Amino acid sequence: MTRYRLHCVSASGNSFKVALFLNCAGIDWEPVGVDFAGGETRDPSWRATTNEMGEIPVLEVDGRRLSQSGAILEWLAETHGVFGPSNAEERFEMSRWLLFDNHRLTGSFAAHRVLHSMTLVPPHPDVLAYMRARTHGALSIVEKHLADRRFMLGDRPTIIDFSLAGYLFYPVEETGFDLRAAFPAIDAWRGLIAALPGWKQPYEMMPVGNSLPLVRSATSAPSAQS
What tens digit of pLDDT does each residue of 24-67 get? 999 999 999 999 999 999 999 999 999 999 999 999 999 999 99
- Rounded Cα gap, residues 1 and 44, in angstroms: 28
DSSP character for 86?
Answer: S
Burial 201-218 (b: 16+ CB within 10 A, else e): ebeebbebbbbbeeebeb
The gap from C-alpha 119 to its chain's centroid, in whole angstroms, comes to: 19
The predicted pLDDT at position 2 comes to 76
The gap from C-alpha 5 to its chain's centroid, in whole angstroms, comes to: 17
User: What does the mean pLDDT of the chain come to?
Assistant: 94
pLDDT over 80 (residue 218):
no
pLDDT over 50 (residue 226):
no
Contact present, 160 and 153 (Cβ < 8 Å): yes
pLDDT over 60 (residue 225):
no
The predicted pLDDT at position 103 comes to 95
In terms of pLDDT, which residue wins out, 223 or 157?
Answer: 157
Superfamily of domain 4-80, CATH level 4: Glutaredoxin (3.40.30.10)
Contact present, 73 and 95 (Cβ < 8 Å): no
- Helices 69-80 and 88-100 pack at an angle, to 10 degrees, of 160
The predicted pLDDT at position 219 comes to 46
Q: In what order do the strands lie in the sheet with 29-33?
A: 29-33, 4-8, 58-61, 64-67
Contact present, 16 and 202 (Cβ < 8 Å): yes
Instruction: Identify the band that residue 216 occupies on the pLDDT scale cut at 50, 70 and 90.
Output: confident
Domain 88-196+213-220 grouped into CATH 1.20.1050.10: yes
Rg (CA), the chain: 17
Contact present, 73 and 138 (Cβ < 8 Å): no
Dump pLDDT digits (tens) for 117-144.
999 999 999 999 999 999 999 999 999 9
Contact present, 66 and 17 (Cβ < 8 Å): no
Where are the chain's structural domains?
4-80, 88-196+213-220
Contact present, 75 and 53 (Cβ < 8 Å): no
pLDDT over 60 (residue 186):
yes
- For the chain, the helix, strand and coil percentages under 3-state DSSP, each to the nearest 5: 55, 10, 40
